[in-house]
Structure 1
Amino acid sequence: MDVDMMEPRGTKRPIEEPEASRKPRKIRALDPDVVNKIAAGEIIVAPMHALKELIENAVDAGSTSLEILVKEGGLKLLQITDNGHGIEREDLPILCERFTTSKLKEFEDLTSIATYGFRGEALASISHIAHLTVTTKTADSSCAWRAHYSDGKLVPSKPGQSAEPKATAGRGGTQITVEDLFYNVPTRRRAFRSASEEYAKVLDVVGRYAVHCSGVAFSCRKHGDAGVSISTTAASNTIDRIRQIHGSAVANELVEFSVKDDKLGFSSSGLATNANYHVKRTTILLFINHRSVESTAIKRAVEQTYSAFLPKGGHPFVYLDIEIEPHRLDVNVHPTKREVNFLNEDEIIETICDEIRSKLAQVDSSRTFLTQTLLPSVQTLAPPNRDTEAGPSAPKTPAASKKPYENNLVRTDSRVRKITSMLTPTMHRTSTTTTDADAAAQATATQTFLDEGFQYETTDREPLKVTLTSVKALRATVRNAMHNTLTETIAGHTYVGLVDEQRRVAAIQSGVKLYLIDYGMFCNEFFYQVGLTDFGNFGTIKLDPAPKLIDIIRIAADAAIENMQLQAGNTAAAKEEREIFTKAPETVAQTLIDRREMLSEYFSIEISDDGHLLTIPLLLKGYLPSLGKLPRFLMRLGPYVNWEDEQECFRTFLRELAAFYAPEKLPRQASSMQNGNSQVQEGEYQGGPQDAEDEEDEYIWTRRAQMVRMLEHVVFPALRARLVATTGLLKGVVEVADLKGLYRVFERC
């Protein structure tokens, strides 16, 4: 059987060829459509490049808020919404034609360009390889305009319709929607390995501009997800933006630097991590004249600078902002504008690295550590004597030796020794050896103390099914503001101890990291979320005897009047304010009485017909809010709750309720209670308040002891089980220790 063998590749053409095949081929002009697709392939290589161009256009338009939506890594959907100045209706027909721009008129303008875009190719390129929709509204326009584009030209949204832009409802600014990217370039579409990988690249682009663009709020989320992957506010500073995007581990170790040289025509500023932080790969956020670029020379020089400060294999995080005189810079050297050329490159890089090296040397000074022979409250116990030939003083050899501390040691049992045992004692405790029977008695006493003043009763009331749109919207708002990492940290934490009851600071451990958290802030958010979750199904705390509502509110009003007299004196304005507070109790009390049916149904606040307060809501079993805050809470329900709008009414009411339930600030103890002679042992507080010479109020002492137990046994377990940590809580957390980081510090010392 004969088989035709294919001619192997690379074989030279034989000399004996037909005459026609040796003639030169005809040169033809490419079809414009082919030219545009080739150009689009150079400019838009991946979804991240399309997004980069759209972000730069949005910032050029004066936007202060950018919302980005991504589906399947940007290949299926890439949408960016800004609040910039928009696009005029007359400009929409040529918006997506190549080389149409409002930022450049002559070639010489490149020497003074101050905007991100200048060539007018981004939208044109996108329209040739995707379905593009633009919705825009200017400040002067009475409505928004929506236009659809394909191959750089306007196209109808549906067959048979007009291609002209259509009037539609919309807010000020521009929304650009890119769908089915590379739909007509199947080879490139198949080259992308996974949507998750492309989404990670998209987040990297958004994160870079979110760090750099001060005054601009960024949010980026995946289509279908309730939470956002990146969220920064317009008011956040650079360090806060780095903390939100790259984590506290980076933000806590940043060193600020700046350098300027008029001779070289540049100035530079930035943030770089110190020698306590290093990772396996260098991260450089480089901006030259506010454009995100890459530079191998700068990256190599920075890594060389850090080689003297970091261990082998360690790499830094650097945010570097360089401003160079425009006439010394060439921005048009790369299709995606990710590279630039500038004069005196070597000298500028050397100057910047010298400044970074100087700052690192200042931080990397010698460290001094205080030591002590024995930690407080640690007792040395002699081993029991054994009747052996060697005698009672012979050393004992353990059956198996184990290193007491490990690099990955994780706290798993909250009953082991706490950080509070190392602090100055805040309460007198007895110093006795604890037996199993004592431990059981202490546990029983703890539960009794937590339930002191409560008599729980179970009701037969059916749970209320909440179908109110307003409540669902408020719950969705909380979910959208969720911070995944912080939520996981709280969900897996171990309570360490109360640090400062006046500043409301407690210590927790998660993994191998120790944090200080503002438990007042966390409890405020937690009880607000409990109010939304258990809306209409709260328990009740019965007040017996029931006080008169107006009398309670009058207590808060009198306190406010007294405070104003101390601060403002007898001025006319102060007298007018005091008169308002004098009349406030009757007005607020009547407002609450008129709405007592709603308060009873939704918030478990029962008020009798004659104005007596019968019950207040119970949000968390075992937790007793400070009843001293009740007068202020009731008085604020008048002016600080929006009774007109349903959703705002529920939100403001639950915020006031959460503030009432949040633990109060307690005064620090008298100095006599903080002397070093007090004997301390881990366990429960015992005994009563100090002698009369300490002069501490008995109620404050009791409340302090009660708060210590409620935080450990009720509040923090509830936070671990139910809290959805929002981005606003990030400012209430400080990382104070990382076991691995401490090991690296001691290794370097």
Structure 2
Amino acid sequence: MSEPMDVDLEVPRGTKRKADDDLSIVTAPRRIKALDPDVVNKIAAGEIIVAPVHALKELIENAVDAGSTLLEIVVKEGGLKLLQITDNGHGINKEDLPILCERFTTSKLKAFEDLTSIGTYGFRGEALASISHIAHLSVTTRTKDSNCAYRAHYDSGRLAPAKPGQSADPKPIAGRQGTQITVEDLFYNVPTRRRAFRSASEEYNKILDVVGRYAVHCDGVAFSCKKHGEASATISTQSTSSTVDRIRQIHGSSVANELIEFESADERWGFKAHGWTTNANYHVKKTTLLLFINSRSVESSNIRKAIEQTYSTFLPKGGHPFTYLSLEIDPQRVDVNVHPTKREVNFLNEDEIIETVCNDIRTKLANVDTSRTFMTQTLLPGARGPTTTASPDAASGSKSRAPAVSTPKSKPYENNLVRTDAKLRTITSMLLPGAGSNNEQPTEPRPEDVEYEDSDRELVPCRLLTIKELRAEVRDAMHNELTEIFAGHTFVGIVDERRRLAAIQGGVKLFLVDYGMVSNEYFYQVGLTHFGNFGAIRFDPPLNLKELLALAAEQEKATNPPATEEDDFSIEEVVELVSTQLIERREMLLEYFSLEISEEGDLISIPLLLKGYTPSLAKLPRFLLRLGPHVNWTEEKECFATFLRELASFYVPEQLPPTPGPEDSEEGLDEEIKSRRDKIRRVVEHVMFPAFRARLIATKSLVNRGVLEVANLKGLYRVFERC
């Protein structure tokens, strides 16, 4: 019989030990200790200075803050061996040099409240401190009032001697006004980080990208960047160069020749925007976005995606633009202290600002397209072609050549010819009785019988977490392909008014759209976007709330009679219950939804979601009645979601009798119904679908339910070929 296994019962279960530990030694729990300050500083440096390009970005921003008009940058081995930047700014006082590289020493920030009005690049005082902990740092500087320059060396945030045995105090030397910062042997004491860099050329390209961005943006500042030991600079711009010239020098003439300038501003959102973007003649495989917010180079995936979606209607598939965008936002609306490297910032009303800028860009692009001149030549049967060559200034970029030219003009395939002009005649106009000739253009939308007035009410930023969660749910449910189809669609016409079906064209495909379902989703998204900032449709005189509820309750009881006595309800009790609920919550309804109810029970106003469209007031009683049982008033998130769904359902166009055919007569139709039908037809074509095109996020719930593909031009041609 084998001996029993020896088990050490004194060792606590779960104790972590090395393989060669003596199991007979029982160790006490490890104590919590404060890290050594040197370790803390190296950890902080690793968060701020991730690569040489981050160190250079901080140094460039400090130089521009110092009023420099000339920046000279020298790089060796991608910045790992040497990174030197020389400027002609104000310089640094000798008295400030001892604390220059200590953490959180700055001349740009005194109190925490100053973060709400930052107007400079740097403000935390961490850049030079972080660099000094992971590199050999030296600073040579001279101010305007100084007789000479001073050079100081730093190690781990403190002054250090240039050579062992020497004094650490700054040494007077000859030098010009300004500051020269030299960073050598970056990450020399962090070997793991240094080995992570694959090649010096890759790091140098990242440095050129950052220098190029600031060279484009900083007017009046000359930039030069070169490798150590080379005579010519890779980037060189003059202080007097215009923005277009700077883009030409850095990104090439192919970009600069196709640039158009745009501006955008809105006092409600507290921003101004200015920039340059390429027209429809230029496109590449990847978007180039130079984004500056309050003169700080940042990145934003939301702005990038919005610009790409804006261009999707102007560029061929796979084409992307070049855009330089400078946003100036009220500093109190911007939080610049959200990222260790300040690569990202947060600002209020991001969606509204992006939408406004993209709309202005879209308008500029459309104006460029409509202002082009196309030269054409009409040939009569049997006539000889022209002997001259037409101008190549056409959208397709091809020339119209005379028959004498040997190279024939490529003929487009018919299965790629699609209707792309929304101003062309629609199916709806073709089916109207008594329509004119085929050349007749569709009538423009007539204004609603409503007077609009501007309100003095200030914009209220939405900080409710529940609304942000609901907005995030919409974004998560986004169907990218369907959203792009709506963003670039061409309206064809209304197919069935009773079933609320319309046809749209997306590329070479034809889709049948349930505009009732799509408008429901659109108005729900509008409700989330403008939460707390709705316009108002006011009633003069106000309407009696209980009378409206009574009408809806009577109609509900007549339309859906109770099957049993238990299902029966008293109209008076329902009206009293719902009216009491709404009156008790009238302050909340007014603040969040612009639904105003007086204390006496008069309905004064309802929310306005889309200018140019007034929902059917015949649906108003039922909308108010459903606010009682169909809105969850006990939980905040469910309350907002269910209320906005009911509001969106109220705004959906009502179902009306379809347009009579040629053999039918309209004599039996009520004049009010005919008028309302004509108004809805105009609104759907000229108000709703343009709104879908501008801002609808098509969700996955609309796929195969709200939108159905009915034809594909290329697929039809394949069928015809088989026939």
> Higher relative CO (CA 8 A, sep ≥ 6), structure 1 or 2?
1
Using structure 1 for the length normalisation, give the TM-score: 0.48
